[in-house]
Amino acid sequence: MEFNFFSNPRLQFGPGKIDKLPELTRLYGNRLLLITGDKSIQKSDHWPQLLRGLEKLSITYYHARVKAEPSPDLIDKIVGRYKDQNIDAIAAIGGGSVIDAGKAVSAMMTKKESVIQYLEGVGNKIHDGKKTPFIALPTTSGTGSEATKNAVISQVGKNGFKLSLRHDNFIPDIAIVDPGLTLTCPAQITAACGMDALTQLLESLVSTQSSTMTDSLALGALKILGDSLITAGTKQAHDIDARTKISYASYISGLTLANAGLGVVHGFAAVIGGLFKIPHGVICGTLLLESCRHNIESLISTDPTSPVLGKYARAASLLSPIHLSNGAENLAENAGNLIPILTRWTDQLKMPRLGEYGVTFRDIDLIARATGQKNNPIQLPADRLSQILAARL
């Protein structure tokens, strides 16, 4: 058994943990750059309480807002505005886009060039990992960005892209995961973000780079997640127990993706997210069912004894109380149990179709040709990639 593993140096998890931000900021100094979404956290009761806590400890704070998925221009503007303010720490409070923005700003505070020059695939420079200390506080449960070592930067349009700024040192120095911050998250966002977390757990579980460590984490998180996403996304949005379970699963999904990588769903997302203005969680959530279906069918036809089929079967049994049949001859049947679960969740959570955001049959070939399959357990042929997309238009 041999593997490497990266994680946050420090984690604060549980309701009310946002109150720890002022004292944790003082570990680095007394000048803080707060990066938030456009309005939601400022409208909450947490905001005035946080500001009182910062004032009590004599912490000077600056405030920048992120209204959409971060672009190179946005990162460059924030860095340019606060680079000379002797910032001691950066804290991002928001969804995955806000945390990615904070992560990128933290990384670029030490650099003179545009962030685009350090992005994988388009940049010509390699980052040395030097950064301003960074604290991540998610207000949604989905991307797990509070536990990952990359920041996703997007430029939407004909020549658009969705690429990563990446270094092992970019894992947030501190993650504060407070499920209470997610209680007011709307149902549609809860569903999309939660399905993104589920996608990350499943894709890292069956990844070609998975390890004993990532498998145990992913399976444990799937067991805790159970059907809590259905509870919070459809019936009881303010159920703190369900929100806590989803927050935990989301955090663990960040750890597992950072250490095992992802699969074809996120390969699709990287392409589609650069061409169309579609929330990342929606892309992942709407494509998860069909991607798993084609992975399982392909494995059954090419390698019916693959241990990956056993992983899919185990995931299904953890998400829903089903009986697994004994014997290797039942491996395909057990793995297939995941498909009706994902079908039911996709319907119950009302996952939007790609066509609602302007994707058409004419776009399928372009998307399929550009999609990388990352660490998918089996390399799917182009016709299967097209079938996955067509089924969710």
Q: Model-level pTM?
A: 0.94
> Hey, where are the domains in the chain?
10-182, 187-391
| Mean pLDDT, rounded, of the chain | 94
pLDDT score, position 296: 98
DSSP 3-state assignment of 146?
helix
Q: How far, rounded to the nearest angstrom, does the alpha carbon of residue 207 sit from its chain's CA centroid?
A: 16
pLDDT at 150 exceeding the cut of 70: yes
Each residue's pLDDT tens digit, 204-245: 999 999 999 999 999 999 999 998 999 998 888 889 999 999
75 touches 105 (CB < 8 A): yes
The CATH class of 187-391 is mainly alpha
pLDDT at 39 exceeding the cut of 90: no
83 touches 33 (CB < 8 A): no
pLDDT at 327 exceeding the cut of 60: no
Name which residue leads in pLDDT, 75 or 6. 75
pLDDT score, position 326: 60
CA–CA dist 348, 235 (Å, integer): 10
DSSP 3-state assignment of 237?
coil
pLDDT score, position 329: 61
pLDDT at 328 exceeding the cut of 60: no
Please state which CATH number belongs to domain 10-182.
3.40.50.1970
Q: What is the DSSP string of 9-50?
A: SEEEESTTGGGGHHHHHTTT-SEEEEEE-SSHHHHSTHHHHH
